[in-house]
Amino acid sequence: MPYITVGKENSGDIHLYYEDHGAGKPVVLIHGFPLSGASWEKQTKALVDAGHRVVTYDRRGFGKSDRPASGYNYATFAEDLHKLVREIDLHDVTLVGFSMGGGEVARYLGTYGSAGVRQAVFISAIPPFLLKTPDNPAGVEKAVFDDFQQAILADRPLFLTQFFQTFYNADVLRGKLVSEQAIQLSWNVGAGASPIGTYHCVTSWLTDFRKDLARINVPTLVIHGDADRICPLHVTGKLTHEAVKGSRLVVVEGGPHGLNWTHADIVNRALLEFLGPGK
């Protein structure tokens, strides 16, 4: 299995697992919390079939990647992504971030610029700024994130069960657009993640990406569900669309946070239309 080395912790190297499929224009898919690159299964096949080269990877602490005790912040996440892009020599790449993966896209472009990047896509993504502050009154109260971290410390498996019910709007969509088995699969992946990384990633969600978004100068697509209970549309997707000049916003009616599974056909259609021919 392919890995890249992105750092070192004490006596051991830190490796990230990635998969690299297909040929054509490269697309990097960056997963959300607390999942892995495998969560893109409904997009990977569609993109490869359309002639794109598709790269997925597991964020440090998640999936098959190593689980260090540090580095769960967006400066490090963006650096990890930058190392992957250089290591496998990607050019003219499209960066696609789902949920907290959208933070990697924003911070990567804000830090490293758009050289070598063709397009950017934000799906159910956390930018611009989730935290409620005097200059961000539509944000979420800090206490909500504190409660998340306390729940993770108290009973991480229970937290994950409750989180994925909200992630998929299971009370409405279970048995229709998402099966109990699909929810369980997500739980299994999340349960296998680093407990330390799971805890500290919540703090990373408070990152302010507004300056990063202002630097984006490549064609940008924003896809967001109007029933997202984790990253509400009016706090995230709409504001990201407004912040990135010339961006396109696709609002998925009834789409929950995990719409890349529940509404995969709509997401894939929007993605393929935006990406254009793969070769």
Catalytic center residues: 99, 228, 257
Strand order in the sheet with 12-21: 3-9, 12-21, 53-57, 26-30, 93-98, 117-123, 220-225, 248-252
CA distance 58 to 70: 16
Buried-state track 211-244, b at ≥16 Cβ within 10 A, e below 16: ebbeebebbbbbbbbbbbebbbbebbbbbbbebb
CB 174 within 8 A of CB 168: yes
**Nearby residues of 176 by Cβ (< 8 Å), 6 or more positions away:** none
Nearest Cα residue to 127 out of 237, 244, 258: 237
Distance from the first to the final alpha carbon of the chain? 26
Could you tell me which residues are beta bridge partners of residue 14?
7
Q: Which DSSP category does 244 fall into? A: S
